Chains A and B, each alone.
Chain A
Amino acid sequence: MTNHDRDPAENGSTAGTNQAGPGVPDAAAVPGGDAAPDSGTAPGGGSAHDSDSDIVLEARGVTKHFPVRRTVGDLVSRRRRTVHAVDDVSLRLRRGSVTALVGESGSGKSTVARLLSQLYPLTEGEIRLGGTPVKAGRGRSFRAYVKQVQLIFQDPFASLNPVHTVRYHLTRSLKIHGKQATEAEACELLERVQLLPPLQYLDKFPHELSGGQRQRVAIARALGADPKVLLADEPVSMLDVSIRLGVLNLLRDLKERLHLAILYITHDIASARYFADTTLVMYAGRIVEGGDSETVTQQPAHPYTQLLIASAPDPDRLADEEAQEETGSGEPPSLISPPGGCRFHPRCPKAMERCRTELPPRFELDDGQWAACWLYEDRPVTTAVPGAPVSGDVTGTGTGPTGSGPTASTTEVAAK
């Protein structure tokens, strides 16, 4: 799903896309360069129907490390610690399709949304919009980017300005993105999100609306830019349960009518199954499994996905709690010094010796599903992923928690 077979030469342009100076893109380009020759021979399973022209937004080996405030001890030992919020995330958003990113809180899924919307600069990797690498700074270039990639926030109670009417929110969005900011246009936006009749809502203030209506206004505002991509960061988790599905169904309807690419970030894997075409599972800053939503939820391959599904509330569950005990327990690791090897190994009931030291690459399973887990090492490795862990990252994260491998050192440069 996330593998690519693009011209490796394009990696050269990463230099312009990375903030961290000329040293880092070189490091980032190496794995991509290594991986690309293989991609010609292994086009990747399940990608037959996915033509590249459908890919609107793509992340390649995106990494984000946040610097930690230094203590006196850190200054003495000249140590720079970073939170490894997102490591080597590659994903593709396709036109007219919903991709779900599922994970616990703290797994880095919201950071991915913010990276994709260019609210944070990348530490490493690149983001491509319509095939061309982008690096939106601030001002004009940022605005041109957000015109195409809009973010919907979790909390509609906080994302609308309480002192302005719905009309203001919508016409402002239209104006900023160069549309005609007329009442008719605003009404059309409200009709799109099924707030009918629109005139009744136009002059309301956010406090006069219910949570679901507010989220619809937030969606209408995002549509005001006429975007190609919607990044929905837990769009329904703050809403009342009885109206969540209404908002999800609306988003799906918009996807179909406007051919939007939607990234749906959620902690609820059941709603990902319901709403998304593709599901990616994230754990401690890394994507551990991906594939068709139905396959991922019905035949989870990675032990973490299995744990997640076993933990989800399910009224149909029979009283076989014993079987569940084997799926593991515990808590996500600290991201300041994440465990070496597979980040899930301390909690994994199936952990092997190898899991502690070596980072698993993405092994390809059937039907386009893949999992980053050594249990599947007999399967072919998905090599076509830029910055695939096969080349650079194994040594980097594999040598130790905050080892002195290439990954760690580049991080420190970037963290300045």
Chain B
Amino acid sequence: MTTGRPVLTIRGLNVDYGTGPGAVHALRDIDLTLHRGEVLGLAGESGSGKSTLAYAVTRLLSPPGVITGGDVHYHPPQGDAAPVDLLTLTPQELRAFRWQELSIVFQGAMNSLNPVHTVHSQLTDVLKAHRPEMRQAERTGRAEELLNLVGISRDRLGAFPHQLSGGMRQRVMIAMALALEPEIVIMDEPTTALDVVMQRQILRKLVALREELGFSVVFITHDISLLIEFSDRIAIMYGGRIVEEAGAAEIYRDPRHPYSDGLLHSFPALHGPRRELTGIPGSPPHLTAMPTGCAFHPRCGKAFDPCAGHVPVLTAPDDAPERTVACWLHHSAPGDAADPAPVSVSGAGPEADPGAGARESAGDTSAARSG
């Protein structure tokens, strides 16, 4: 939709849990760019590293999590200002940066409010810390304004969290994240605990606010059908790596990575013909015992020679420069693999990938499936 200048760039980010030979590589070589005013969806199963990425970017990673490489730059909205290297900020700078420029709505945000403080004191607390020059009345005014923004009447300001419903608590958290009008809001599974009706209301509110206030959103969830509806661009993670990144519509119409394809076929559709779905055979890899080569190859119906031995790089496929995918099906294979046609190693169990017949070879450019 709006792809302005980049506001956050992540290059080669690596995160380990633990150090030494026993370290678990939770994130490997993450390259990601968030543009101004964009909703970037981050999809993946549990253990794929999506929350770790959110924590690493906000420098909230607690031991034994260690950032072992890469850099994260924030680009201020003023054109001439130098990019800020988030990984080298001092604690004071970090404190000023957080919430002012980048805020986060945590997973299970329904329980992130302090139960013994009123909504008012929690909303004004952030203003007290970051805007000490504001007077009490101004802060209260701002808090009322924020509640208004997320569609909660101002008389709830004095309420304690337990007096609010789950959806309202969630919206209070979103209001709090927007208190200082940050440039970036990271939402880590913000609506997972909510019902579909409330989920849709909150997301619609968020999209409207995004258009009004012009911030960027990193939206983390496992529900890819939700992402396709609400985000502009989607990055799909598997085993600590980004395996595909493209516009939401492209991912939906023409997923290139077999894992993206499998994820899309893991959600039964509400409309259209009722057909047999299989999900993805096998289960997600354990971070301590990651398969060699492409982490997805043991579950992949299209795995062929180079998959087990070589890690595919996240680059643009040969025919579509504006998107990236990390799969040997779409790149010329390394070394001797001259023939890129997939040789099925049939490690995928009896239920083959439902879209297996749709794209036969690596070079196939057609939008393989629609609807």
Contact = CB atoms under 8 A, between A and B. Distances in A.
Interface of A: 104-105, 210-213, 240-246, 249, 267-271, 273-275, 294, 297-298, 307-317, 321, 329, 331
A245 B263 CA distance: 11
Contacts, number: 105
B226 interface: yes
A149 B225 CA distance: 35
A105 B271 contact: no
Given A241-B223, A307-B197, A331-B167, A316 B371 contact: yes
The 7 closest A-B pairs by CB, nearest first: A245-B279, A274-B268, A242-B280, A210-B283, A315-B228, A104-B195, A313-B226
Contact of A242 (B45, B196, B201): B45
Given A313-B229, A315-B229, A274 B266 contact: no
Given A242-B263, A315-B228, A274 B278 contact: no
B280 to A, nearest CB: 4
A392 B291 CA distance: 64
B39 to A, nearest CB: 14
A18 to B, nearest CB: 33
> Which interface class (under 10, 10 to 19, 20 to 34, 35 or more) fits B?
35 or more
A201 B244 CA distance: 34
Contacts of A308: 196-197
B277 interface: yes
Contact of B229 (A105, A314, A329): A314
B222 interface: yes
Interface of B: 45-46, 165, 167, 195-201, 204, 222-226, 228-229, 252, 262-263, 266-272, 274, 277-281, 283-284, 371
B144 to A, nearest CB: 21
Nearest to B280: A242
A331 B268 contact: no
Given A105-B195, A240-B45, A331-B198, A313 B223 contact: yes
Contacts of A240: 45-46, 222, 283-284
Contacts of B229: 313-315, 317
Contact of B270 (A212, A242, A270): A270
Given A315-B225, A321-B204, A212 B266 contact: no
Contacts of B272: 316
Residue in B46, B198, B268, B278 with the greatest tally of chain A CB atoms within 10 Å: B268
B223 A245 contact: no
Contacts of B165: 331
Contacts of A331: 165, 167, 198
